[in-house]
Amino acid sequence: MKTKPAMQLQKVNIYKISLPFTADFSHSHRKGAYAENVIVEVITDNGEIMGYGEAAPRPYVTGESQESAARSVSHFIHKDTFPWELNDVSQIWDFIDCLPSEKEYNSAICALEISLLDTLAKNEDKSITEYFPKDYYTNRVYYGAGVPFANSHRIIEICRFIKKMKINKVKVKMGKDFSANQEAIEAVNSVFGDSCDLKIDINMDWNHELALLHIPLIKKYKVKVVEQPMVPGDAGIAHFAKVLEDNGVILMADESACALEDVERIIKDGYYKMVNVRLSKCGGFQRSLRIVEHLRANGLYFQIASHLGESGILSAAGRVLSLLCKDALYYDGSYDEFLLKENITFENVTFGPGGEAGPLNGQGLGVEINSRNLDRLSGNSKRVTVFRP
C-alpha cells in the first residue's frame, strides 16, 4: 500500500481580532464592548486547505494579553519542532508536549494546537473528534446560561429570556458589593423561584470576611456551586470551603486551575471539589483532557466552559470537548449569537432550546471562516505571517 505523502504547510497567519458584543457583558475583571482574541490561520502549500485556531487571552486568568499571545504563537511556530510537514496527529501532540508548561502561554498553545488539528482533519476528510478517545463521548450536551453584572431590571429581562429558552442552569456574576450581589440573586429568584440550578461566579473578588457575609444568601437561594471566590492562595479559602461543604455547596476552582500542576495541588489541598476546564485557559485539547482525566481519577467534579467573547472557532472546539466529556457536571459556552454582534464563522454555533447542542457537521472543527469578516475585524492590527523555512 502506498504511503500518502506528508501534507506541506506553506505559512501561518496570526490575526489580532476585536469581536464586538451585542450589549455590555462586563464583569469585575473585564470591561469593554468587545473581546480581544487571536486567530491562527494555517495554509497548505497548494492553498486548498486552511485550518483555524483561536486564543482568548485574559490577563486576569493566565496573565496573557492579546499582544503577548500573538507574540508567543509566532515564537512557537519558529521552533524546529513545528510540524511543517504534517501527516499524523502524533506530530501535533509531540509538538505541543515540547512547548512551555507555564500558564502564561496557554491560550497561544491552544490556538496553535486547534489550527493544526483543523488542518490535518480537513486533509484527512474527518472531524477532529476522531483524534480523541470516545470512552466518555455523547451526542448531546445541555449548556447553561449566564447572567452578567447588571441592574435588577436588566437581570429580570435576561432571566425571562433564559426561562423562555427552557434553560434551568444559571450562572450569576458577582462582585465586591454585597448589596448589588443580593439584588442580583433576588432578581434571578423572582423569575425562577427554586426551579433553577444556580451557580455564582465571583472571579476572585471576595476576601474571607466578604465570603462569609454571603453565606446566608447562598443558603437562602440554594446556590449549588460557588466559583473562584478568592484569589489563588488566599489563606481564607480553607475555612470558607469547610463552611460551604457543611452546607452542601460545591466550591469550584477556575483561575486557580490553569494547568495540571495546579490541579494536582488543588487535589492535595482538598478545598475545591470541582474545576472549571476551558480550552484557552488550559492550553488546548491535550492539556485540558489530561486535567479532566486527573479529575476523574481523583473523584472531583468538573465543568467544560468558555471565555466570554469566543468566536465560532473556539465555540466549535468547545463543543468537541464537551461532547467528549459526558460526565461533566455543567457545560457553559456556544453563546455566539447571544453575545457577539459579529462573528467570523458562517455557521451559527449557538446552542438551541433547552441549551441542547450536538456535533457540528463537516470536516475539521465543522465551521467555515468568513475571511472578509476576519480581515475587517482585525482592523488596523497588522497581520503577522510566518512562512515555511
| pLDDT for the residue numbered 116 | 98
- pLDDT exceeds 90 at position 28: no
**Angle, vertex CA 43, rays to CA 340 and CA 5, nearest 5:** 140
Q: Which three cell numbers stand for residue 320?
A: 468537541
Calpha distance 132→136 (Å, rounded) = 10
Percent of the chain with pLDDT over 90: 93
Of 284, 338, 331, which is closest to residue 312 (Cα–Cα)?
Answer: 338
One domain, residues 30 and 89: yes
Kindly state whether residues 215 and 100 are assigned to the same domain: no
Q: What is the mean pLDDT of residues 51-75?
A: 97
The reply to whether 120 and 177 lie within a common domain is: no
Q: Verify that 142 and 251 share a domain, yes or no.
A: yes
19 has pLDDT over 70: yes
342 and 205 in a single domain? The answer is yes
User: Please, which pLDDT band fits residue 6 given cuts at 50, 70 and 90?
Assistant: confident
Residue type, 198: L
> Is 112 found in the same domain as 63?
yes
Amino acid 47: pLDDT: 87
Check pLDDT > 90 for residue 159.
yes
Whether the pLDDT of residue 12 is over 60: the answer is yes
341 and 374 co-located in one domain: no
Look up the domain containing 48 and give its range: 7-126+368-387
Same domain, 268 and 180: yes
109 and 148 share a domain?
no
| Domain presence at residue 363 | no
Residue 26 has pLDDT above 70, yes or no: no
Residue 138 is assigned to a structural domain of this protein: yes
pLDDT for 97-153, tens place per residue?
999 999 999 999 999 999 999 999 999 999 999 999 999 999 999 999 999 989 999
Per the domain annotation, does 251 fall within a domain?
yes
Residue 1: band (very low, low, confident or very high) from pLDDT cuts 50, 70, 90:
very low
Residue with cell 451526542: 139
Residue whose C-alpha is closest to residue 259's, from 100, 146, 147, 152: 100
Q: Which three-class secondary structure state does DSSP give residue 288?
A: helix
The pLDDT of residue 4 is 63
The span from the CA of 234 to the CA of 148, in Å, is 25
Contacts of 376 (CB under 8 A, 6+ apart): none
Residue 2 included in any domain: no
Q: Closest Cα to residue 111, out of 50, 52, 35, 34?
A: 52
pLDDT band with cut points at 50, 70 and 90 for residue 381: confident
298 occurs within a structural domain: yes
- 362 part of a folded domain: no
Q: Do residue 21 and residue 164 come from a single domain?
A: no
Contact status, residue 16 vs residue 378, Cβ threshold 8 Å: yes
CATH code for the domain of 60: 3.30.390.10
* Pairing between β-strand 356-357 and β-strand 141-142 as defined by DSSP bridges: antiparallel
Q: What pTM was estimated for this model as a whole?
A: 0.95
Please give the C-alpha separations between residue 378 and each of 20, 158, 187, 228, 245, in angstroms, as whole numbers. Answer: 11, 30, 38, 32, 46
Q: Please check whether residue 39 lies inside any domain of the structure.
A: yes
Work out the widest C-alpha separation in the chain, in whole angstroms.
Answer: 71
Task: Residue 260: name the closest of 234, 211, 298, 223 by CA.
Answer: 298
> CATH code at 284?
3.20.20.120
Decide if pLDDT at 24 tops 70.
Answer: no
Assess if residue 311 is contained within a domain: yes
Both 115 and 137 in a single domain? no
The pLDDT score that the predictor gives to residue 388 is 96
- Residue type at position 265: R
372 & 344 share domain? no
pLDDT (tens digit, 9 = 90+) per residue, 320-373?
999 999 999 999 999 999 999 999 999 999 999 999 999 999 999 999 999 999
Count the domains in the chain: 2
Mean pLDDT of 275-282: 98
Judge whether residue 3 has pLDDT over 80: no
Residue 25 pLDDT grade (very low, low, confident, very high; cuts 50, 70, 90): low
Contact 160, 192 (CB under 8 A): no
Torsions phi, psi for 90 (to 5 deg): -60, -30
pLDDT confidence of residue 211: 98
